[in-house]
């Protein structure tokens, strides 16, 4: 594919998309583009005020609903509010934050980025007619899944390895969901995407000197949120390969237009992916109904 952008999004009239973290950054760019193509969009946001501002820009095709991925009670409440949708985009995330715990005691990064989305997808899957898109990151290559200590209860917390683990978990979840949907003969598909290096608010919550460093990095090196959102938009709307992984086509996958992306050997480890799935079910209390 060459230079696929929002002008290439097929007509989405009559379709409904749920996008997590749609109050800013990649998620806001995605819902604007989807609504511009005729879709109804549900902005699933922790920050309702910011979400309402984005929805006001879009108009009647947009609605905002509360979702805090760091709280399984909020995830369940949101899922209960949804009757049906065509596509779920698991876009929201936190990066390199100080050590913290979710409402359910999970390490904040794996709890928000992976376990929250795992639970949300499981609770919504019967209501999703077409596909699930999960946003990972090039940082998955630095990650290692520790099934004995997923939540950093026994290791000394390190923010970047924790982020790498969380983003690897996102990609492994997308891959495992694809395998399980395929095995069950389901017409639904699972696809993964990553934004490359995009300028968003993700880089401003480390509560350290890194916030300042990454602020300048965004200005000098990053592509726009609108460009960074293209891979997930392509994965969500175009004729994609089920189970594939899409990202920018430029240097080191940092910039450019959507294309197939490579991933680490660890992301393809089916035994670990199965173990992560089982552990995620145990931790969240959410099991998947797959087969229709």
Residues labelled catalytic: 163
Q: Which of 163, 250, 176 is nearest to 210 (CA)?
A: 163
CB 123 within 8 A of CB 51: no
Q: Which residues, at least 6 apart from 224, have a Cβ–Cβ distance to it below 8 Å?
A: 29, 198, 199
Tokens standing for 231? 């891979």
Cβ count near 91 (within 10 Å): 27
Query: Per DSSP, what are the bridge partners of residue 66?
Result: 45
Which value, in Å, is the radius of gyration of the alpha carbons in the chain?
Answer: 17
CB 248 within 8 A of CB 227: yes
CA–CA distance, 60 with 19 (Å, rounded to integer): 16
């Amino acid at each position: 594919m060459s230079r696929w952008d929002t002008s290439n999004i097929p007509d989405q009239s009559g379709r409904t998309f749920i996008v997590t973290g749609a109050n800013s950054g990649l998620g806001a760019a995605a819902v604007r583009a989807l609504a511009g193509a005729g879709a109804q969009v549900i902005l699933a946001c922790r920050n309702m005020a910011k979400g309402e501002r984005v929805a006001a820009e879009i108009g009647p095709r947009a609605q905002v609903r509360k979702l805090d991925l760091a709280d399984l009670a909020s995830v369940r409440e949101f899922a209960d509010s949804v009757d049906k949708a065509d596509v779920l985009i698991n876009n929201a995330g936190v990066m390199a934050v100080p050590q913290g715990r979710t409402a359910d005691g999970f390490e904040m990064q794996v709890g928000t980025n992976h376990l929250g989305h795992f639970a949300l997808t499981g609770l919504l899957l019967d209501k999703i007619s077409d596909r699930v898109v999960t946003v990972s990151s090039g940082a998955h290559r630095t990650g290692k899944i520790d099934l004995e200590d997923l939540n950093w209860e026994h290791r000394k917390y390190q923010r970047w390895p924790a982020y790498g683990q969380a983003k690897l978990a996102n990609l492994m979840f997308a891959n495992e969901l694809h395998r399980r949907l395929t095995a069950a003969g389901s017409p639904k598909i699972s696809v993964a995407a990553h934004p490359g290096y995009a300028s968003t608010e993700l880089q401003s919550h480390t509560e350290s000197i890194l916030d300042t460093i990454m602020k300048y990095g965004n200005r000098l090196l990053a592509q726009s949120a609108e460009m960074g959102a293209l891979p997930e938009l392509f994965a969500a709307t175009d004729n994609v390969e089920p189970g594939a992984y899409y990202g920018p086509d430029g240097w080191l996958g940092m910039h450019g237009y959507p294309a197939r992306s490579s991933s680490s050997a660890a992301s393809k480890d089916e035994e670990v992916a199965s173990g992560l799935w089982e552990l995620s079910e145990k931790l969240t209390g959410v099991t998947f109904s797959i087969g229709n």
